[in-house]
Amino acid sequence: MNIFFFNEEHMTAYSKLLSIMQHRDCYHQSLAYLLTLDSVCREHLNDLFDIEEDLIKRNGLHCSWQTGTSKKTTRLAFNLWNGCHTDGETYNKDGYETELPSRYYAVDEIFNCCSYAPYYWQAVRLRYQL
């Protein structure tokens, strides 16, 4: 599959991250692609993914450095990683049960008005080997 990148920095960071990940399967490819796409996420990789434990860090969504676009990127990355669809946005608010799906994981929330949309689609293609 031909992979297209946002810029040279994205391509370089993707290759570097993928080379140090424990696996190079479709899950790791899409995660590495997204976490290196956004420069803000790229600068804070350690807040989002534990390389040694091979785990996403869901609390990374609540870091003060997150921007609107980096949150979209992180949410999609986490969702493609393990189906994550909650991040605390709907926990126990107004009597709701915990672990309700967050509206912020909806396709129209992530892809809408985002210059990264074509690259988000590339990550979906990597994850599902389309």
C-alpha to C-alpha distance for 49 and 21, rounded to whole angstroms: 10
In a domain, 84, yes or no: yes
- What is the per-residue pLDDT for 91? 47
Letter for the amino acid at 45? L
Show the beta-strand stretches assigned E in the chain: 49-50, 55-56
In a domain, 92, yes or no: yes
- What is the per-residue pLDDT for 7? 98
CA torsion 9-30-89-111 (nearest 10°) is 80
In a domain, 1, yes or no: no
In a domain, 107, yes or no: yes
Tally of structural domains, the chain: 1
pLDDT by residue for the chain (130 residues), tens only, comes to: 899 999 999 999 999 999 999 999 999 999 999 999 999 999 999 999 999 999 999 999 999 999 999 999 999 999 999 988 766 554 455 555 556 677 888 888 999 988 999 999 999 999 999 9
In a domain, 56, yes or no: yes
In a domain, 111, yes or no: yes
In a domain, 40, yes or no: yes
In a domain, 2, yes or no: no
Containing structural domain, residue 58: 8-128
